[in-house]
Structure 1
Amino acid sequence: MSGPTESTSASSAAASDALIEEAARHGADAEVWTLRQRTDELVCRLGTVERRSDVATGATALTVWADGTEGYAVQNVPDSRDPALVTAALAVGRALAATGSVPPPPPAPGAPRKAPDTPPPRLDAEATERLRALSAGGDGLDVELRTRADRSRIRLHRAGARPLGYDTGVVQLHTRITARGDGIGYIGHQSYGRSVPALLDRVETTELPELIGLARLLAAKPVSRLAYDDLLVDGRVLVKLLSLIVPAFLLDSVLEGRSPLADRTGEVVASPGVTLVDDPTAPDSPLPVPWDGEGTPCGPTALIEDGVLSGFLSARRTAAEAGTTGSGSGQRGPGGEMVTVQPGYLLLRHTTCLGTEFRPGRTVLHVVQANGAHTSNPITGEFSIGANAVVVGPDGTRDNAGNITLAGNVFELLRNIDGHDGRIRVNRSHDSFVAGPGVWTASLTTGR
């Protein structure tokens, strides 16, 4: 899928025209959303290629409006023209009308911005050889590299409007390193990008050496006593904690009474200097998109500005209920499922950089990895997770802190960020990305 082709475009147009015409025959307005996706996956471990796959998937989602109702149906087939989609969507619309949950029809899509023009990512022979070589390991190291390259083509066609479409793609590399020393040390890390060569350059020169060093350190004998002056929570851990409270920043959570931030717009909810912005079109977004699953143009949506709550994410339905404009945050699932409100590229920033790990005259506990949540509550923000950490002495020496427990409240953490370490990490859930740096804080507790 190197770019739009005349045959594919013609096939898509014919399919969506057929569904729109069938809907019109039933007296309904219609909109057709189509996905075509190609995914390369490669697993390399200990210098060998263990698994390779190339899978094509797709979906067709149909929305219809008739007699004041809105209905929806989906098939896991790209460019479907099955008339049964229309009858199913009309039946769903009648059922939803009985619940009173029917937003007004949207205006026909205009001409929202285009996606960045970047080459589609591929795991070609050169990338395969680089990944195989990088996974060689040795000397007590087990290196596994799981790589995935997605290439997607999205098309949206509304009755009475010209079809819209864009191509996009993302590369994901999951590095898993196990080291053997006094014990066994393990570190996992997710990397993302738009270009396979650029991502592999970054992994080879920066990320892989750092991760190998961490794995060896975590395999060493832990310090006998956990004592420190300052706490640094790595971005790998922070983004997982932030992901726990993403629902609090969704307008549908506010309307349903599930967000503790409801009715707090304009209040201080984070430390001065903290901003939280969702922008799927940002230059650093791993998966750039020009508009959401409903055709609403995407752009920056500020949720927190200088510590003050300034907004929420919304799709067309929730925005209509609240009497506001949607933020372009209506995302469809991998099979074209009904739109839900989700961030695209949610980035936390802080104005003060305090550097990484070493502080003269101070002992720092650097929490480098989260190992799963023992308990977590997305409504209250309370959490307790297992983690790995490193103790950095006043002279810069680094020791294994061993397995620890990290506990606290994510909303309280936002209000107690002293600064950041300047290193952005990213967490992914389907096509939603949450990003942020490591943060210095005194609001969390640790134990063994």
Structure 2
Amino acid sequence: MSRASETLVEEAARHGADAEVWTVRQGIDELVSRGGVIERHSEVTTGATAVTVWADGTEGYAVQNTPDSTDTDLVATALGVGRALATPAKPPPLPPTAPDVPDGPLPYLDAVAAERIRRFSEADDDLEVELRVRADRARVRLHRAGAAPARYATGVVQVHARLTARGDGIGYMGHQTYGRTVRDVLDTVEKKELPELRDLARVLAERPVGELAYDDLLVDGRVLVRLLTLVAPAFLLDSVLEGRSPLAGRTGERVAAAGVSLVDDPTADDSPLPVPWDGEGTPCGPTVLVEDGVLCGYLSARRTAAEAGTAGTGSGQRGPSGEMSTVQPGHLRLRHTTDLGTEVRAGRTVLHVVQANGAHTSNPITGDFSIGANAVVVSPDGTRRNAGNITLAGNVFDLLRHIDGHDGRTRVNRSNNAFVAGPGVWTTCLTTGR
């Protein structure tokens, strides 16, 4: 690795300051294919260097969009910011020794992958397929004065499929698939996701049923993870300390249905973007937020953990350009112990909400929401009919308390480097309408 961070740490010491240097090198491959034609295939390399300094009882910060920068003006800028803000701060304790993880295989969109993607996007007469594929690679290094530098490399593959069918009307289905290797993600897209998306898009292109009547409600994982993302901030210690979380002071209380667990673990085997430590060098691992419906704790970074007098959970994430760490989940997953199966139920008509189309209204503090959605009506024999465009409304915290079981199909939503995963859920607490 470069001696760049040593240069900046030494420059800070020359000014009597403690320092921490974080740097990232990123590679991004992107490919867009539609109708059997590759419309764009690009590769971009970016990076950043961020410096935090502690001097004279204050903290300053500066960032430059250059990886492994040796520009000592970064230190001068960070010191100036600290003096200008004059916010009392002291150097945090040295983090536990962050593991120095050697580089492993990282994802690239090579010619073989490009041909598979092109072939997947070939259209039928009534169906248009567009695939947007992205492979991200990052090499991260963290050097704190007084500790040995640590590094790791990681990557994630993302496939965004958009299918448009034409029948009595136009049916649209979109879905995103994530994983660690290009081959595994493309295998999943080919064998599982595309066949189902084709079927759903064609159903949604049919004339909608006249009356929206059903016995049971199944909210697909694609929709559930969007709703969970809305209330994820309630599980952050920052929100608790700032009075923005309705879960403040409720550890030990039941906040979800029996059988529901909520665990954040960026190191899990199924985490799309595995990382050994967060943007501050704190080792990552499983953090249980809810177990069997009972609130167990919150996610935190070193600053908020210090304020609360607790240990950090390794949840201090930096932005892609080296922005200051904020508390975010890494791989937040909801599970339920009861498997109630997929959309077909003997003697029952099911409304399966398969896609969220945007939030009409949503409140991340109260959890209230009203969203546009697409749904299918599923008869006891498995026949699907188009329910048309509907409105799905309720409260996400109330939904957590009224999950009866899951359908066994885990979906994932991404916001920057925060991933939220969960299955489809059976519930009775939401309202629907047209």
Instruction: Indicate whether the TM-score tops 0.5.
Output: yes
CA distance 1:234–1:115, change in 2 (3 Å): farther
- Are the aligned partners of 2:25 and 2:139 in contact in 1 as well (CA < 8 Å)? yes
Question: 1:376 maps to which residue?
Answer: 362
Match of 1:354 among 324, 334, 340: 340
Tell whether 2:271 aligns with 1:285: yes
Q: State the Cα distance separating 1:67 from its structure 2 match.
A: 1.8
Tell whether 2:352 aligns with 1:366: yes
**Which runs of no fewer than 5 residues in structure 1 stay unpaired?**
1-8
Question: 1:326 maps to which residue?
Answer: 312
Question: 2:27 maps to which residue?
Answer: 38
Question: 1:413 maps to which residue?
Answer: 399
Cα distance in 1 for residues equivalent to 2:54 and 2:211: 65
Question: 2:219 maps to which residue?
Answer: 233
Tell whether 2:434 aligns with 1:426: no
Question: 1:88 maps to which residue?
Answer: 77
Q: Deviations over 1:342-384 (max 9, x none)?
A: 0000000000000000000000000000000000000000000
Match of 1:301 among 261, 275, 287: 287
Question: 2:123 maps to which residue?
Answer: 137
Q: State the Cα distance separating 1:162 from its structure 2 match.
A: 1.3
Match of 2:66 among 68, 77, 83: 77
Match of 2:14 among 10, 14, 25: 25
- Are the aligned partners of 2:26 and 2:47 in contact in 1 as well (CA < 8 Å)? yes
Cα distance in 2 for residues equivalent to 1:193 and 1:286: 5
Cα distance in 2 for residues equivalent to 1:89 and 1:195: 38
Q: Deviations over 1:310-351 (max 9, x none)?
A: 000000110111111110000000100011000000000000
Match of 1:147 among 130, 133, 140: 133
Cα distance in 1 for residues equivalent to 2:100 and 2:149: 13
Q: State the Cα distance separating 1:117 from its structure 2 match.
A: 6.6
The residue type paired with residue 276 of structure 1 is L
4+ runs of 1 displaced by more than 6 Å? none
Q: Deviations over 1:177-225 (max 9, x none)?
A: 0000010000000000111011111111111001000000100111000
Q: State the Cα distance separating 1:139 from its structure 2 match.
A: 1.6
Q: State the Cα distance separating 1:71 from its structure 2 match.
A: 1.2
Match of 1:58 among 47, 52, 77: 47
Question: 2:185 maps to which residue?
Answer: 199
- More displaced 10-residue stretch of structure 1: 158-167 or 55-64: 158-167
Cα distance in 1 for residues equivalent to 2:292 and 2:81: 44
Q: State the Cα distance separating 1:84 from its structure 2 match.
A: 1.3
Q: State the Cα distance separating 1:436 from its structure 2 match.
A: 0.2
Match of 1:243 among 229, 232, 237: 229
Q: State the Cα distance separating 1:16 from its structure 2 match.
A: 0.8
In angstroms, what is the RMSD of aligned CA positions? 1.1
TM-score, with normalisation over the residues of structure 2? 0.98
Q: State the Cα distance separating 1:422 from its structure 2 match.
A: 0.5
Number of equivalent positions: 434
Q: Deviations over 1:47-80 (max 9, x none)?
A: 0000111000000000111122121110011011
Q: Any residues of structure 2 matched to 1:5-16 within 5 Å, and which?
A: 9=1, 12=2, 14-16=3-5
- Are the aligned partners of 2:101 and 2:151 in contact in 1 as well (CA < 8 Å)? no
TM-score, with normalisation over the residues of structure 1? 0.95
